[in-house]
Structure 1
Amino acid sequence: MSMIKRRGFLGGGLGVAGALALAGCDMPHEIAGGFTGIDMARGHALRDEAWRKAVPSAARRARVVIAGGGVAGLAAARSLRLRGIDDFALLELEDSVGGNSRGGSVEGVACPLGAHYLPVPSDNAPEVQDLLEELGLRRRVAGRWQYEERHLCHSPQERLFFRGEWQDGLLPVKDVSPATLAQYTLFSQRVQALQRDHRFAIPSLRVPLTPALLALDAEPFATWLDRQGLDDPQLRWYLDYCCRDDYGSGLAAVSAWAGIHYFASRHGFQAPSDEAGDRDAVLTWPEGNGWLTRRMAQPAAPHIHTGQVVTRVAQTRNGVEVDVFDLASQSLVRWQAEHCIVALPVFIAVRVVENPPARLRHAAAHLRQAPWLVANVHVRAPLADRPGAAPSWDNVIYGTRGLGYVDARHQALDPTPQATVLSWYRPLGASASDGTVGRRQLFEQPWSAWRDELLAELSVPHPDIAALATRIDITRYGHAMAVPTPGLLRQLRATEAQEGARQGQIAEGRLAFAHADWSGYSIFEEAFTRGHLAGLAV
């Protein structure tokens, strides 16, 4: 049976017994697990209008309040500290900071709960470079920057299960036709030409929007590919995978600018016929980017308040009032400050900011959020493997709805076969750009259904996964990331231009806004840079 046909069976509503039987797996024993990491009920509690009408039972003061403890909020806290401002309070909804870059553990094995790597930043992101230097991840040797080898992703880095065996790299190459190879080369040439003629950079706020870039922003990536005659199924699958990986939605939902930016802002696109070049280095840790956020949080620890539901942010004649519901005391607390950095997702910020400014309302009206699921699977022994490339850090299965898995022990220096955790990623916004269907599925579908889907998918290359899995912990993100839909970049930049904002410094009176949403897509570099600049803006 071919993989495509098999995938149709596995996705067709069979129970785990039927799916695993088709994949040739043993029937699963009892596997522990459940939902963890994010308390979805806390976010939904913002809908409780009673909180907005409650009278605060306590008052607290700080020079600056930071609403939100994701990467942007932590970067803002660091930026304030670098300026010598230590009278601030950071308010976080969950029990730990880090946002989509939290880390955790399963059965004592560290693993990511969200983002799991950071590409070595270019000179377009000096703020991120400075952070890495501060954390001891890079240093200058003989006039050149060197990154700590033990934190760079070890080889082999990635592989693809395609046509019954593993191959190196994620671009399908095994027994593909000359026509497919020709389209790989054509797409590579298109990306190279766009890189040569236009500037692409991360963070994107450093790039002026030219008419050519706005034209790419205006149409879906799939439409642009159609016009280029790029219709090969293998190429389309790979590009769709890339879009779902970075943007949470497929190539029909994101803009052509976003689809090309994925390649042109970093490493380009390497067709098999291209000369081999240096591969972009990637920093990663067993707990993913949680390694970074934990270290960013340590100096700010005395100022961090978790379990805080921000319900209102209002500018007053003399400053800012920030009302929060303290989950520990079950009471409403009012913070009074000179300034507030709103490091919240835009869809939440527009709800809690009193009399929201026009640019915030405008951004909220145009942004769409992709839901995500991250499952961490503890396996008690190494898995059986199919022929081909050796086990890698990133392992992807062609034609599936998931994005494959990363191995938490890949960075370990001890070669002894041991238990490990596989982190499986599943975006749910590929078929609906507004994410409504995916969010409903994420909220309503029981843990056991996600367990069954995961086991069915990973059993194709690993037939013994059900027998070796001992626990599966699942983290749900209802609004994981902004989707760079067609026209979004123009809309977001238009509000900045109209308000005369400096690059990334989105301020409104005593409020400063900082979140990756303002870039239109969610990666560490965008969130960190905007948080750092917000700390300079107050």
Structure 2
Amino acid sequence: MRRRTFLGAGASALALGGCESRDPGIEGGFTGVDVGRGHAVRDGALRGAAPSRTRRTRVVIAGGGVAGLAAARALRLSGIEDFALLELEDTAGGNSRGGAVGGIACPLGAHYLPVPGDEAHEVQDLLEELGLRQRVAGRWQYDERHLCHSPQERIFIEGEWHDGLLPVQGVGATALAQYRLFSQRVDALRAESRFVIPTLRAPFTPAMLALDALPFSAWLEREGFDEPHLRWYLDYCCRDDYGAGAAHVSAWAGIHYFASRHGFHAPGDDNADRDAVLTWPEGNGWLTQRIAQPLGDRIHGGNVVMRIAQTRSGVEVDAFDAATKTVVRWQAERCIVALPVFIAARVVENPPEVLRNAAAHVRYAPWLVANVHLRAPLTDRPGAAPSWDNVIYDSRGLGYVDARHQSLDPTPGPTVLSWYRPLGPSGYDMGDGRQLLLDRTWASWRDELLAELSVPHADLRGKATRIDITRYGHAMAMPVPGLLGRLESQRRDRGAVADGRLSFAHADWSGYSIFEEAFTRGHLAGATA
């Protein structure tokens, strides 16, 4: 992947990210994820612990991320109220939880949901239930208060902000021509194959599997797409959705990013449908909080699932309760395993072949999310107005979103900026991303963030009061080349993946991690339990 040297003023500050020695006097720390709980299962610290009591329920849901919450909702829709949801963290929601810094709501992970297409009808039903969409005069309309307000996104390049994330100003005729050609190529591929979300409703043809087998960067080289600005943008999109660069995800994934929604928009394509997204100050935590609220005390936070076993009469699930420091054995008729496949393969006794196959091939991108509290708005550089999504060209991070962007109050005031840093393999590699999360101090991440965001905002250090950082060692499955082909055996039934009394539900089974994939698979598992 050829890369253009960063063109904005202060590029040297980016190169020195993480090396700032002066203490800016900003408070903060790590929050949101209890690393020790997950590692207790990995390291075997809980192995062999005897249960101190037994509880019974009809269905146990192991895992309280989006898939687990969707399964619980589906059980209730089916009239099943007797279930227990066991969640590792203190609150449910997984990578779609929300938090607050300085009293201002902000996301701890995923921060938006694209308006779903017709194939994601389970998600559409949820949005209708939550009052986010309704039928008016025979057509569906979304509540504009929850659609991303304008301006939606901008990029900082050559010392100025510009509208949109695709570099346009001053890029030259070659770039503009390749933009148009790539747009036409995506449209042609959309016409040839059905790129849909959720993927379990896509017919995986030989053509699709051929794209899956090839790295996206190799496909771009083969097709003659070598313009640096286009390649930067496509690499950014891969890091944004998959946590890894274009050389490390499949051509199917790179094309799916555009073809599964509204295509790729070249400059001047003003008549094209634009992606609309739903977003909230607390990100997708707005959704998960509302799905979780009716579940009440059926959600058991701080419970580390240690063992899942099928028995003659049902299932047994052993979980370590972090509050009481005891092991509880749950006996049930069925278990919905809404865990990442690498964890499921560790805790399910005699894991079935389909699970072992998935766990052997799914790879994960680590992520870091930092929420920066500002006592006052930042001074801006020339160009496009402050937006919801603000990206710095050719930086390690993915930019920041402003928690106050959706506010209807025009009065300037304190806010929180959420900065996203993928740590999967890319052209910005700094070593083993998962190990970096464990080894680097909060101050080191703070300094990298400040160096990057101070390029367009020189007053950031003086206005930041606190930075809370959330670390995800296994944030999302990466759609590496060949993964869809390896998962194809469990895709043929187009429904929940099951083995006896176990149903498996997680975005991992789709080969990549977005809300629609997790929710649909969780719903199907709950509807068939």
Aligned to 1:332: 327
Q: 1:466-516 deviations in whole A, cap 9, x for unaligned?
A: 00000000000000000000000011112444xxxx213101000000000
Does 2:359 match 1:364?
yes
Q: 1:146-200 deviations in whole A, cap 9, x for unaligned?
A: 1111011100000000111001000001111101111111111110100111111
Matches of residues 310-329 of structure 1 in structure 2 within 5 Å? 310-329=305-324
Q: 1:386-427 deviations in whole A, cap 9, x for unaligned?
A: 100000000000010000000000000010000000000000
Q: Cα RMSD over matched residues?
A: 1.7
Residue 28 (structure 2) aligned to one of 21, 24, 33:
33
**Partners of 2:18 and 2:446 within 8 A in 1:** no
Give the AA of the match of 2:372.
Answer: V
In the alignment of these two chains, the number of paired residues is: 525
Does 2:472 match 1:481?
no
Matches of residues 111-510 of structure 1 in structure 2 within 5 Å? 111-431=106-426, 437-497=432-492, 502-510=493-501
Q: 1:203-248 deviations in whole A, cap 9, x for unaligned?
A: 1110010111011000000000000110111001100000000000
Distance in 1 (alpha carbons) for counterparts of 2:425 and 2:10: 21
**Partners of 2:342 and 2:359 within 8 A in 1:** yes
Does 2:523 match 1:527?
no
Aligned to 1:10: 14
Aligned to 1:515: 506
Give the AA of the match of 2:264.
Answer: F
Q: 1:128-161 deviations in whole A, cap 9, x for unaligned?
A: 0000000011111111111111011100000000
Distance in 2 (alpha carbons) for counterparts of 1:466 and 1:50: 42
SS in 1 for 2:91: coil
**Partners of 2:17 and 2:447 within 8 A in 1:** no
Does 2:528 match 1:537?
yes
Distance in 2 (alpha carbons) for counterparts of 1:47 and 1:4: 44
Distance in 1 (alpha carbons) for counterparts of 2:339 and 2:227: 40
Give the AA of the match of 1:509.
Answer: G
SS in 2 for 1:421: strand
Distance in 2 (alpha carbons) for counterparts of 1:435 and 1:310: 33
Aligned to 1:21: none
Give the AA of the match of 2:209.
Answer: L
| Greater fraction of residues in helix | 1
**Partners of 1:369 and 1:434 within 8 A in 2:** no
SS in 1 for 2:46: helix
Give the gaps of 5 or more residues in structure 1: 18-26
Residue 105 (structure 2) aligned to one of 110, 119, 122:
110
SS in 2 for 1:272: coil
**Partners of 1:163 and 1:174 within 8 A in 2:** no
- Give the drift of 1:267: 1.6
**Partners of 2:377 and 2:414 within 8 A in 1:** yes
CA pair 297-436 structure 1, distance change in 2 beyond 3 A: farther
- Give the drift of 1:7: 3.2
Give the percent of matched residue pairs that are identical in Structure 1 and Structure 2.
Answer: 72
Distance in 1 (alpha carbons) for counterparts of 2:30 and 2:317: 31
**Partners of 1:373 and 1:427 within 8 A in 2:** yes
**Partners of 2:93 and 2:289 within 8 A in 1:** yes
Give the AA of the match of 2:149.
Answer: H
**Partners of 1:429 and 1:435 within 8 A in 2:** no
CA pair 432-402 structure 1, distance change in 2 beyond 3 A: closer
